[in-house]
Chains A and B, each alone.
Chain A
Amino acid sequence: MNNLLRRVLLSASAPVIALLFAVLVSSVVLLASGSNPIAAYGDMVTHALKLGTIVDILNRATPLYLSGVAAAIGFRMNLFNIGVEGQYRFAAIVSAYVGAQLALPGVLHVAVILLVAMFVGGATAGVAGVLKVTRGINEVISTIMINAILISGVIAALSKRWQAGGSVDATGSNAGVGTDPIPESGLIPNLNGLIEPITGEIGRGKELTGMFLVAVAVGVAYHIILNRTRFGYDLRASGVNPFAATAGGVSANRMIVTAMVLSGMVAGLVGMPSLMALGRFNPNFVSLLGFGGIAVALLGRNNPGGIVFGSLIFAFLDVSSGILQISGSASREIKDIIQGIILLAAVVAYEVVRRYREREEARLAAEALAESGSSPPFESGSTPSVAGA
């Protein structure tokens, strides 16, 4: 058990070191730019402890987590799905359109919207998988290109059509421009009713997204599939050594396509918290979550629990840095610096810990070898004919 504790501490040490290092470097940056780092961090932490801000952080962490899992599924197999960005936006617009056309009872309506989003995300990512398997096109290239097509092409074209027939509301905002609104039955209710008995009233119009629970479910499913199923084993084996996996009966091509489709299905869910909050897809729809997800997956080592940590840190920085604009203690952009440094430092720290662990294991193995005695238990000779039974 001492052993287990050691392993856990060792695993946790890398991100913690990375975080401390990032705070240190950012402090230097803040000092150099004439701000007081302690005041800035103090403002951020104080702000983050407010109930309303916690809800904001969780709302931000939910899609980041989903996006992180989407990226991690690919990473586990050495596939780089850069297309999460395009996949979730395209999935959101299609599911918003479908959701608006339907009139179904609550649960079913929500399920249809989520399934459509997953289907669209999976199908678009699957294209990249099929291209890789059949034509040898690197998935990085194809997902980037598909991103460009989906984001710029399709969405722009559709937006134009909606704009023509859409309306601008009384205040002149274009928030009303977009897909038709999804009926109430298609929207997941917020979780305020669930948590307010414990936390007290959240107030000020803040709502904890119902997708939070979906993200938890996705995380649990990811953990179980990855670590407990034959499929997850095949996936990890292919990632660690594709040649050994092939010799062990894993079909590399099938794994590539399946992993891309699964990654895309989770990516399809990334836009859902926004869609459920807005009730439609509009030009203000949240963007850049796909790239945030890659960062979060890296920080969390593609591990279901690690990504929780990564997405909470990033969400905390995203949300609580907003207070800096109001308090004036530092520039808000400091959070980008911190996020960047955390990532860099984490990559370095993970490598350091990995090497340390390898050395440690090698030492233990050498000890075990020494303990069991140096003479082999066989009546060994140097030729097979001597060693016979």
Chain B
Amino acid sequence: MTQGNDSPADGSPTINQPAIELSGITKTFPGVVANDDVSMTVAQGEIHAICGENGAGKSTLMKILYGMQSADEGTMRVFGDRVDFKSPTDAIDLGIGMVHQHFMLADQLTVLENVVLGAEPTKSGGRIDFEAAKAHLQEVSESYGLDVDPDDLVETLGVGERQRVEIIKVLYRGAKILILDEPTAVLVPQEVEELFRNMRELKADGATILFIDHKLEEVLEIADSITVLRHGKTVATLPNEGVTASDLAELMVGSELPSPEITESTVTDTVTLEVRNLTVGGGGDRPAVDDVSLKVHAGEIVGIAGVEGNGQSELVNAIVGTVSPSEGSVFLSGEDITRRNVRTRRESGIAYVPEDRHHEGLLLSAPLWENAALGHQTKPPYARGFFIDRAGAREHTETIRAGFDVRTPNIDVSAQTLSGGNQQKLILGRELTSNPKLLVAAHPTRGIDIGAQAAVWDEMRQARKDGLATLLISADLDELIGLSDTIVVMFRGGVVATLDPSDVTPRTLGAYMTGAAIESDDRTDDLKGTP
């Protein structure tokens, strides 16, 4: 860590210096620019929200701020001092603390033990001084108005309380700047209110809070200022005065949406996939998918838009068969497949491009030809009766390699040696050459380079022309609008709108995706008028 000489380097807040000042932060990963010339200023003692769609670069920016990753370019100042974090330890030393979306607590330990973990005060003989720790913990929790019992076991606490423990953990280490990564994502509304009350008290006590959120109504309720990121760039930083949810939604989505390609519609009357009143989960909790009905025709691409975590993954799982719905049914070409297992569904013509190719799509340490067979290992050319047809499988893999431009020295290398784009082309190739009726493609171009992306889009468009029904889930609005014949917006597990991509506006799409169209009654009318 280096510090500049332009102000006292003792780490103490200097009056009137902004808490955080970023300028020109750029971070690239292979094939992806996560942050592109990001600049923003966070004043001391304010609550600053960072909004943006998934993949807009929010998390990367926070990781850079917390020292988990280092920026390729740009400068960072904390309380006026130029900093260059090598690890989170450097950030903690300067009073920056982060609460991750997924809690990092040891369930079997008490609150006190969790809080002091890694920063234990010791007395003679290396024993932990629990009295001192408890006193300090109580001091912290009282001064910030965070109510916890230090002796509770963490496993007995609810989600909201655990989050409070995480916040105390950070404050206990002397944090003056708190970074909260989507703190409300895991909370129920009452807990959100409690969190906001805590945040206001923290602010009153002089803490600076930076938080990521894409629920606009929450942002408007709590934030003093708001920075919007899109495609890795800062679009705007606004004070929270006179801003509406629709304004923010438009900023997040972009003022210009690509116009869909003018091609002849290939949509037919044949319904290939029909989902009827499908509900997944529930039983006490809010269901992940809530009474969804939709149809995909042969030759049609139906795109599902929505901020991630609004039931898209669960919908996909219920269609592919890895999750059983609690209610409703799924029909493939008129046949009820709700009770069928994954294998029968795959055999009857469902092709599947999973959202995380490493997790669900590939056998990374297995050779390419075995990967090509995955999901289709029961049918020719991969199988002959009870046996695997090695010659047939290899020959077909060569076909995929040539037809889908999979760049590889040979088909015996393991899948992990390929680049993300080539892995994705292999997956798409194996799915599209399996003669499917329905393609379920979840984020088919996520994390791959532009060339491979164009190739994937081309193949999907060709398959559509050949009569394939496609359900496309994507966080990339360019992709959704460019490919889809119909766009369905999901929010909190339900379908909130069905839109025609040719006359969708950023305002309407953004409003539906972020729930702004539902939450704010005064604007609902003009939004509903658009489709």
**Contact of A376 (CB < 8 Å), options: B345, B362, B386, B455:** B455
By the criterion CB–CB under 8 Å, are A361 and B414 in contact? yes
Residues from chain A with Cβ under 8 Å of B408 in the complex: 365, 368
By the criterion CB–CB under 8 Å, are A241 and B386 in contact? no
Asked if A230 is at the interface (CB within 8 A of a chain B CB), the reply is yes
**Contact of A387 (CB < 8 Å), options: B361, B388, B457:** B457
Asked if A280 is at the interface (CB within 8 A of a chain B CB), the reply is no
Binary CB contact string for chain B from 387 to 431 against chain A (1 if under 8 A, 0 otherwise): 110100000000000000101110001101111001000000000
Interface residue count on the B side (C-beta < 8 Å): 62
Asked if A367 is at the interface (CB within 8 A of a chain B CB), the reply is yes
By the criterion CB–CB under 8 Å, are A233 and B258 in contact? no
Residues from chain B with Cβ under 8 Å of A376 in the complex: 405, 451-452, 454-455
**Contact of B383 (CB < 8 Å), options: A227, A230, A358:** A230
Asked if B127 is at the interface (CB within 8 A of a chain A CB), the reply is no
By the criterion CB–CB under 8 Å, are A249 and B375 in contact? yes
Please give me the residue from chain B that is nearest to A237 by CB atom. B363
Q: A228-B388, A244-B363, A364-B409 are in contact. Are A249 and B342 (CB under 8 A)?
A: yes
By the criterion CB–CB under 8 Å, are A249 and B413 in contact? no
Residues from chain A with Cβ under 8 Å of B462 in the complex: 389
Kindly specify which of B93-101, B147-155, B477-485 makes contact with the partner chain. B477-485
Distance in angstroms from B169 CB to nearest chain A CB is 31
Residues from chain B with Cβ under 8 Å of A231 in the complex: 386
Interface band, chain A: 35 or more
**Contact of A380 (CB < 8 Å), options: B343, B352, B360, B450:** B450
Within 8 A of B (CB), among A202-257: 227-234, 236-237, 240-241, 243-251
Within 8 A of A (CB), among B244-283: 258-261, 263
Most buried by A among B263, B374, B378, B458: B374
By the criterion CB–CB under 8 Å, are B343 and A358 in contact? no
Residues from chain A with Cβ under 8 Å of B346 in the complex: 248-249
Within 8 A of B (CB), among A344-389: 358, 361-362, 364-365, 367-369, 372, 375-385, 387-389
By the criterion CB–CB under 8 Å, are B261 and A243 in contact? no
Asked if B366 is at the interface (CB within 8 A of a chain A CB), the reply is yes
Asked if B23 is at the interface (CB within 8 A of a chain A CB), the reply is no
Q: How far is the CA of A372 from the CA of B454 in the complex (A)?
A: 18
Distance in angstroms from B404 CB to nearest chain A CB is 11
**Contact of A230 (CB < 8 Å), options: B259, B388, B418, B482:** B388
By the criterion CB–CB under 8 Å, are A249 and B387 in contact? no
By the criterion CB–CB under 8 Å, are B454 and A233 in contact? no
Asked if B373 is at the interface (CB within 8 A of a chain A CB), the reply is yes
Q: How far is the CA of A167 from the CA of B343 in the complex (A)?
A: 58
Residues from chain B with Cβ under 8 Å of A367 in the complex: 409
By the criterion CB–CB under 8 Å, are A378 and B407 in contact? no
Q: A380-B454, A384-B261 are in contact. Are A368 and B366 (CB under 8 A)?
A: no
**Contact of B366 (CB < 8 Å), options: A237, A358, A388:** A237
By the criterion CB–CB under 8 Å, are A248 and B478 in contact? no
Binary CB contact string for chain B from 344 to 383 against chain A (1 if under 8 A, 0 otherwise): 1111000010100001111111100010011111100001
Q: How far is the CA of A367 from the CA of B417 in the complex (A)?
A: 11
By the criterion CB–CB under 8 Å, are B387 and A230 in contact? yes
By the criterion CB–CB under 8 Å, are B458 and A389 in contact? yes
By the criterion CB–CB under 8 Å, are A243 and B359 in contact? yes
By the criterion CB–CB under 8 Å, are A241 and B451 in contact? no
By the criterion CB–CB under 8 Å, are A384 and B342 in contact? no
**Contact of B413 (CB < 8 Å), options: A230, A236, A361, A387:** A361
Asked if B173 is at the interface (CB within 8 A of a chain A CB), the reply is no
Q: How far is the CA of A234 from the CA of B388 in the complex (A)?
A: 10
Q: How far is the CA of A358 from the CA of B465 in the complex (A)?
A: 40
Binary CB contact string for chain B from 440 to 451 against chain A (1 if under 8 A, 0 otherwise): 000000000011
Q: How far is the CA of A319 from the CA of B375 in the complex (A)?
A: 47
By the criterion CB–CB under 8 Å, are B457 and A229 in contact? no
Within 8 A of B (CB), among A62-76: none
Distance in angstroms from B297 CB to nearest chain A CB is 20
Asked if B122 is at the interface (CB within 8 A of a chain A CB), the reply is no
Residues from chain B with Cβ under 8 Å of A358 in the complex: 414, 416-417
Distance in angstroms from B377 CB to nearest chain A CB is 5
Q: A230-B383, A361-B417, A389-B462 are in contact. Are A368 and B483 (CB under 8 A)?
A: no
Please give me the residue from chain B that is nearest to A254 by CB atom. B341
Residues from chain B with Cβ under 8 Å of A236 in the complex: 363, 366, 370
By the criterion CB–CB under 8 Å, are A247 and B259 in contact? no
By the criterion CB–CB under 8 Å, are A229 and B387 in contact? yes
Distance in angstroms from B218 CB to nearest chain A CB is 32
Within 8 A of A (CB), among B148-175: none
Q: How far is the CA of A378 from the CA of B343 in the complex (A)?
A: 34
Q: How far is the CA of A246 from the CA of B457 in the complex (A)?
A: 26
**Contact of A372 (CB < 8 Å), options: B322, B342, B407, B458:** B407
Asked if B461 is at the interface (CB within 8 A of a chain A CB), the reply is yes
Q: How far is the CA of A358 from the CA of B416 in the complex (A)?
A: 8
Asked if B199 is at the interface (CB within 8 A of a chain A CB), the reply is no
Q: How far is the CA of A368 from the CA of B374 in the complex (A)?
A: 24
Distance in angstroms from B59 CB to nearest chain A CB is 23
By the criterion CB–CB under 8 Å, are B359 and A244 in contact? yes
Distance in angstroms from B327 CB to nearest chain A CB is 23
**Contact of A244 (CB < 8 Å), options: B374, B390, B414:** B374
Q: How far is the CA of A389 from the CA of B387 in the complex (A)?
A: 39
Q: A244-B363, A385-B260 are in contact. Are A369 and B407 (CB under 8 A)?
A: yes
Q: A249-B375, A384-B261, A384-B457 are in contact. Are A241 and B347 (CB under 8 A)?
A: no
Q: How far is the CA of A236 from the CA of B461 in the complex (A)?
A: 34
List the 5 closest A-B pairs by CB distance, nearest first.
A384-B482, A376-B451, A249-B343, A380-B454, A248-B375
Question: B interface vs A, CB < 8 Å?
Answer: 258-261, 263, 320, 322, 341-347, 352, 354, 359-366, 370, 373-378, 383, 386-388, 390, 405, 407-409, 413-414, 416-419, 422, 450-455, 457-458, 461-462, 465, 478-479, 482-483
**A–B pairs, 23, beta carbons within 8 Å:** A230-B378, A230-B387, A231-B386, A232-B388, A237-B370, A240-B364, A241-B362, A243-B360, A244-B363, A247-B375, A248-B346, A249-B343, A249-B375, A250-B342, A364-B409, A376-B405, A376-B452, A380-B454, A380-B455, A384-B457, A384-B482, A384-B483, A385-B482
Question: A interface vs B, CB < 8 Å?
Answer: 227-234, 236-237, 240-241, 243-251, 358, 361-362, 364-365, 367-369, 372, 375-385, 387-389
